[in-house]
Amino acid sequence: EDQVTQSPEALRLQEGESSSLNCSYTVSGLRGLFWYRQDPGKGPEFLFTLYSAGEEKEKERLKATLTKKESFLHITAPKPEDSATYLCAVSDYGNKLVFGAGTILRVKS
Amino acid sequence: DGGITQSPKYLFRKEGQNVTLSCEQNLNHDAMYWYRQDPGQGLRLIYYSQIVNDFQKGDIAEGYSVSREKKESFPLTVTSAQKNPTAFYLCASSLGGGYEQFFGPGTRLTVL
């Protein structure tokens, strides 16, 4: 059965303090790994799709990387507006995504 | 603008009532999904549909029902058989199974 574990559960950073979020996964055959951002009371916002080990994608202060067992979401010089819950999900070659529980990020100015 | 809409944003239900949550998309996506999100938990799949007039149960389908009569619409009914329906409900769509999903703004259901 596909599984996704995200760590840490919560992360507090000072503005400008770079860090990384982790997404570990087990899947029979990886079709894609997805990162989302979710603000309180809103639906998740799609950020990235990664398909194969070694792939990287960037958007503003965020960079996602992928290995055969895990993905990292690197946040460089975060700002308070980066505060949100970040969700990771994986897809095998079936019809569903499996989501992790998320990492709650708080960035203080 | 293409996107997914859900209505209402907030919904209150008395015990024993059925309620229907609306989900519409104009992205021309074939697949649509319903998730439930509880505080501190990840998204749990209720039902999904890959094509019109066909749908499958997800991991927590008991007490819920859906229909898919049009490509654009995938309403979810929360029945009185659902023992703990208070939650945040999210609808999503994608090009097909296994592709990235795009989410609506959600409906918060509270049972009084």
Which positions in chain B touch A92 (Cβ < 8 Å)?
A: 98
Closest-CA distance of chain A to residue B68, Å:
17
Query: Would you place residue B41 in the very low, low, confident or very high pLDDT band (cuts 50, 70, 90)?
Result: confident
Test mutation, B5, B49, B68, B99, chain A, max A CBs within 10 A: B99
Do A43 and B103 lie within an 8 Å CB cutoff? yes
**How many Å from the N-terminal Cα to the C-terminal Cα in chain B?**
36
Which of A32, A44, A94 lies closest to B103 in CB terms? Answer: A44
Per-residue pLDDT of chain A (109 residues; tens, 9 = 90+): 889 999 999 999 999 999 999 999 999 889 999 999 999 999 999 999 999 999 999 999 999 999 999 999 999 999 999 999 999 999 987 788 999 999 999 999 9
Query: Would you place residue B4 in the very low, low, confident or very high pLDDT band (cuts 50, 70, 90)?
Result: very high
At B98 the pLDDT is: 83
Q: What's phi and psi for A55, nearest 5 deg?
A: -75, 145
pLDDT at B18 over 90: yes
Retrieve residue B48's tokens: 């999904």
At A93 the pLDDT is: 78
Retrieve residue B13's tokens: 């239900």
Q: What's phi and psi for B101, nearest 5 deg?
A: -105, 145
Q: What's phi and psi for B58, nearest 5 deg?
A: -95, -150
pLDDT at B2 over 80: no
Which positions in chain B touch A102 (Cβ < 8 Å)?
A: 42
Place of tokens 């992790």: A100
pLDDT at B1 over 80: no
Confirm or reject contact between A56 and chain B (CB < 8 A): no
Which of A42, A96, A101 lies closest to B106 in CB terms? Answer: A42
